[in-house]
Amino acid sequence: YVFSTAIAAGLDIRLAALTTLLGIRELFGIGTPLLGRLADAGHLTRLIWIGSIVAGLACILAPETGPVGFALFATGGLAKLGIDVAQNSWISHQFDGARRGQVVGVLESSWALAFIVVVPILGVGIQHWGWRAAFWICGPLLILAGTTAGGLLGRHEDRLLLQESAAHAVQRSEQRALEEASAAAELPTVASTNDPSSAATIGEAEAGRASPARRRAIYSFVLLQPFAQMLVFAVIGDWFVKSLALSTPKIGVITFSLGLAELVGTLAVVAVAKRLNPLIGGAVAMAACALLFGLMALDTTNAVLGVGLLLVADVALEFGFVSVLPAVADLNGASRGKSFGN
């Protein structure tokens, strides 16, 4: 999105048309529930290395194939989502509680490092070789990183995850049998009390399934937060160039600063993960973002004020997202890939 203006100019289309294409690509995310089921079936490492190859090739070939390029671009986007589902599912199986939040935080710091290291390199490449340079640089890197990661995880991890999923299924079956036995004996079922210390809560935890209210809160956040974020970032490149009249080198400095802001937000979650309620953290962060973006809208031509508020908002965005992401694993302990896919 930072270089969307340059890419739109290279394609000889309006920025609005490019952002529409990007939005259509995001719609391919409706296929992620299927990818989540593949992850639960024990294909985590395959999703990572196959997804990286498909996404990397799409990145390399899309700028060179005309109308077919968009189909490749969209396919690459879906493949990248497969990588995201697989990696988050793998982490949720390997780590619990606060430790999971810390590991997710470390992983999400890669976004910050991309802004700090890769985006400035892409800016130099675009300045010297044109807008296609960004795709040529990212494609091979994606293939190399994804295939290496998939190979390191190894197939034995898939078998371990299958065993854990089976164990969760057994726990849920035993809990269901207990509830039926209680009902048959005309005793209060474990689901009939709201006492947090009741057997319902214990059984639910053993089954690895979040309460309905918690599920609604998590799903609402992961649906609305990316949508709201994209509304801003879809126009950020155009705002830099047309409203703030910033040069490419200055935009490079700002993107570097955005990377630092994301790193701060991510490391803040890592630091407080043991004491953090993920949903409260996400809610507070989004409330701060709403205030900051509202202040930005009051004056869209003041570069110092606008960029300063954007950097603070980026800290809050990253803090909120990284806070809530580990909680997705608690939606259904027996089908964590499905939860991330949904």
Q: What is the pLDDT of residues 22-78, one digit of tens each?
A: 777 777 667 777 777 777 777 778 888 888 898 899 888 877 666 677 777 778 888
For residues 16 and 24, give the distance between their C-alpha atoms in angstroms, rounded to a whole number. Answer: 12
**Strand, coil or helix: what is 209?**
strand
Per-residue model confidence (pLDDT) at position 182? 59
Are 331 and 218 in contact by the 8 Å Cβ rule? The answer is yes
Q: Which long-range contacts (CB under 8 A, 24 or more apart) does 5-10 make?
A: 5/237, 5/238, 5/240, 5/241, 5/242, 6/126, 6/131, 6/237, 7/131, 7/134, 9/131, 10/130, 10/131, 10/132
DSSP for residue 242: I
Q: What is the pLDDT of residues 134-155, one digit of tens each?
A: 888 888 988 998 888 877 776 5
Q: What is the pLDDT of residues 67-82, one digit of tens each?
A: 677 777 778 888 888 8
Element (H, E) at 54: helix 44-61
User: Quick one: average pLDDT of 247-256?
Assistant: 78
Is residue 206 scored above 50 in pLDDT? no
For residues 145 and 140, give the distance between their C-alpha atoms in angstroms, rounded to a whole number. Answer: 9
Are 326 and 104 in contact by the 8 Å Cβ rule? The answer is yes
Using pLDDT thresholds of 50, 70 and 90, give the confidence band for residue 173: low
Greater pLDDT, 320 or 170: 320
Averaged pLDDT of the chain: 74
Is residue 243 scored above 70 in pLDDT? yes
Greater pLDDT, 17 or 1: 17
For residues 207 and 123, give the distance between their C-alpha atoms in angstroms, rounded to a whole number. Answer: 49
* Residue from 71, 111, 92 nearest 339 by CA: 92
